[in-house]
């Protein structure tokens, strides 16, 4: 997908083509349907903002740390300086970085929520994502409410922040361990895609792990694996269904049922 296609959740224009069933769909219909294809149930990208609207009770979201800004500690330059990339991405997405965190209600149940948005540098995790998610876990510990993280991080740890991005895996994990020790309920929802350092840390540290259908989820990228083993990868490799079959996902949940299922799970795991 090009950057302009990602921004609004589905490609620009009145009509879009479903990459799975190839049906031509009226864009407005797809948006009304939570960015899911009505023909084959393909789950399109959905932004952090849309996600909040889909999951939380109307007007209950209170955002935290919205002004945390990434910095270019390394002076990293690839095709352009990271500092410039940050500004471009901020303009493109309206986000300061890839994570949105805060509190709200799901069918009347108070929760802390954190979401990574693929639109901002593939949802990759740098210091801001790490700090926001760690703070969210710490506040959920204080508030004694369930914690819901939704991952949409294709990039894993953010290369442009070097070793500090790797350390965010440790930082968030430490905060989640504390929350867990305090008896917190952590539900993680894996969406397309969840890879690399995000998968190898907070995405797989939930008490309950949910996944949207056919999301790509895994540790190593398909290309890296192919280059290493020099074999073709099996059909359906690293999908939600593959993960569930191998025992690493509790439930695959259609986007329209997510809100109900999360509320249902919360009721079984009373934190009092």
Partner 1 sequence: MVPEPLPFEADIHQLELLLDKLEGAGGEGASDETRRMKREHRALLKKTYDNLSPWQTVEVSRHKQRPQFLDYLGLCFEEFVELHGDRAFGDDRALRTGFARLGEHKILLVGHHKGRTLKERQECFYGCTHPEGYRKALGKMRIAAKFRVPIVCLIDTPGAYPGIGAEERGQSQLIATSILELTRLPTPIVCVVIGEGGSGGALGIAIGDRVSMMQHAYYSVISPEGCAGILWKTANDETKPRAASALRMTSRDLQQFGVIDDIIPEPLGGAHRSPRDAADALKKHLQRRLRELVSLSTEELLAKRYEKFRKLGQFA
The site for Zn ion (CB under 5 A) is made up of 18, 20-21, 37, 39-40, 42
What number of residues does the chain have? Answer: 272
> Would you say 99 or 262 has its CB closer to partner 1?
99
Distance from C-alpha of 267 to C-alpha of 66, rounded to nearest angstrom: 30
Which of partner 1, Zn ion, none is residue 37 near (CB under 5 to 8 Å by kind)?
Zn ion
- What string marks each residue from 199 to 218 as x (binds partner 1 by CB under 8 A) or -? xxxxxxx-----------xx
| DSSP line for 11-24 | -SSSEEE-TTT--E
Handedness of CA 152, 157, 158, 161 (dihedral sign): positive
Tokens of 3: 């950057």
Q: What residues between 225 and 244 interact with partner 1 by CB under 8 A?
A: 225, 228-229, 231, 233-234, 237-238, 242
Structure-token match 């953010």, residue found: 158
Binding mask 152-171 for partner 1 (x = CB under 8 A): -----xxx-xxxxxxxxxxx
* Backbone angles phi and psi of 189, in degrees to 5: -110, 115
Question: Phi-psi bin for 210: left (phi > 0), alpha (psi -120 to 50), beta?
Answer: beta
Q: Judged by CB under 8 A, does residue 180 bind partner 1? A: yes
Per the rule left: phi > 0, alpha: psi between -120 and 50, beta: everything else, 144 is left
Shortest Å, Cβ 171 to partner 1: 5
Binding mask 128-147 for partner 1 (x = CB under 8 A): x-xx--x-------------
Residue 18 partner contact from partner 1, Zn ion, none using kind-dependent CB cut-offs of 5 to 8 Å: Zn ion
Quick one: what does residue 1 bind among Zn ion, partner 1, none, with the CB cut-off 5 to 8 Å set by partner type? none
User: For residues 123 and 108, what is the distance between their CA atoms, to the nearest angstrom?
Assistant: 29
CA distance linking residue 81 with residue 160, whole number of Å:
9
Q: Which is nearer to Zn ion, 46 or 93 (CB)?
A: 46
Helix, strand, or coil (residue 63):
strand
Q: Select the binding partner of residue 39 from partner 1, Zn ion, none (C-beta < 5 to 8 A, by kind).
A: Zn ion
Closest CA to 207 of 183, 185, 240: 185
1 binds partner 1 (CB under 8 A): no
Nearer to Zn ion, 84 or 256 (CB): 256
- 174 contributes a contact to partner 1 by CB under 8 A: yes
* First vs last C-alpha separation in the chain: 45
Q: Which residues are annotated as a binding site for Zn(2+)?
A: 18, 21, 37, 40
Chain residues in the site for partner 1 (CB under 8 A): 68-71, 73-74, 76-79, 126-128, 130-131, 134, 157-159, 161-171, 173-178, 180-181, 196-197, 199-205, 217-221, 224-225, 228-229, 231, 233-234, 237-238, 242, 246-248
Q: Which residues are annotated as a binding site?
A: 18, 21, 37, 40
């Amino acid at each position: 997908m090009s950057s302009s296609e990602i921004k609004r959740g589905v490609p620009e224009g009145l009509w879009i083509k479903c990459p799975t069933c190839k049906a031509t769909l009226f864009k407005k219909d797809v948006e009304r349907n939570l960015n899911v294809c009505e023909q084959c149930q393909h789950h399109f990208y959905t932004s952090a903002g849309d996600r909040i609207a889909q999951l939380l009770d109307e007007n209950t979201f209170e955002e935290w740390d919205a002004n945390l800004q990434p910095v270019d500690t390394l002076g990293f330059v690839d095709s352009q300086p990271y500092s410039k990339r940050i500004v471009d991405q901020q303009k493109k997405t309206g986000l300061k970085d890839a994570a949105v965190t805060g509190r709200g209600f799901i069918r009347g149940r108070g929760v802390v929520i954190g979401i990574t948005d693929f639109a901002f540098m593939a949802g990759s995790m740098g210091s801001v994502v790490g700090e926001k998610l760690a703070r969210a876990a710490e506040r959920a510990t204080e508030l004694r409410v369930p914690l819901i993280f939704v991952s949409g991080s294709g990039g894993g740890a953010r290369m442009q922040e070097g070793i500090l991005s790797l350390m965010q895996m440790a930082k968030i994990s430490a905060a989640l361990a504390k929350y867990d020790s305090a008896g917190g309920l952590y539900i993680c929802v894996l969406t397309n895609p969840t890879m690399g350092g995000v998968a190898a840390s907070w995405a797989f540290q939930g008490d309950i792990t949910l996944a949207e259908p056919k999301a790509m989820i895994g540790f190593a990228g398909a290309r890296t694996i192919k280059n290493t083993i020099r074999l073709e990868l099996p059909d359906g490799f690293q999908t939600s269904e593959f993960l569930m079959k191998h025992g690493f996902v509790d439930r695959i949940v259609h986007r329209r049922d997510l809100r109900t299922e999360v509320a249902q799970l919360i009721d079984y795991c009373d934190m009092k």
